[in-house]
Amino acid sequence: MMKGTAELLKEHQLKVTPQRLKIVKMLEEHGHINIEEMYREMLKEFPSVSLATIYKNINQMIESGLIQEVKLPQTKSVYELIKEPHLHMVCDRCHKVEDIVIGTEKIIEEAEKLSGYKIKESFITLRGICPACQKKVSEEA
């Protein structure tokens, strides 16, 4: 069962504020969202919110281990709630980001063996064309 948003914030030693509740709600709804999209959506509910406030909240949520930044090739970073290890699929056409839960342990083990590094965290991103965009391409042909 999914924890309530307020409980999730408290569990990560974060003060429960209306803006933080809204950020978590947006992350739950969208899965992945960038700061600009977050800001536009936040303004609808909190017209006086500043971009600086959103950045400050995002940074505190990252430091507390509640969310993480996902750096994507050739596009803006997006943010997501931290969950089990997974990789990201990114569409080169529509830029949709999807999580794929797949065992990343073997990849990390192999990378450690080959490099001698002790890996602390990994962000694996695979790029391609999503099924919806593939369908559009074949219809356009």
Same domain, 89 and 41: no
- The strand pair at 125-128 and 87-91 is best described as parallel
Check residue 1 and give its pLDDT.
34
Residue (of 55, 63, 60) closest to 15 by Cα position: 60
Same domain, 3 and 55: yes
Q: How many domains does the chain have?
A: 2
pLDDT < 50: residue spans in the chain: 1-2
Check residue 124 and give its pLDDT.
86
Same domain, 78 and 95: no
Same domain, 62 and 2: yes
Same domain, 68 and 122: no
Q: Rounded to the nearest 5 degrees, what angle is found at the Cα of 122, between the Cα atoms of 111 and 78? A: 150
Domain range for 9: 1-83
Instruction: For residue range 38-56, list pLDDT tens digits in order.
Output: 999 999 999 999 999 999 9
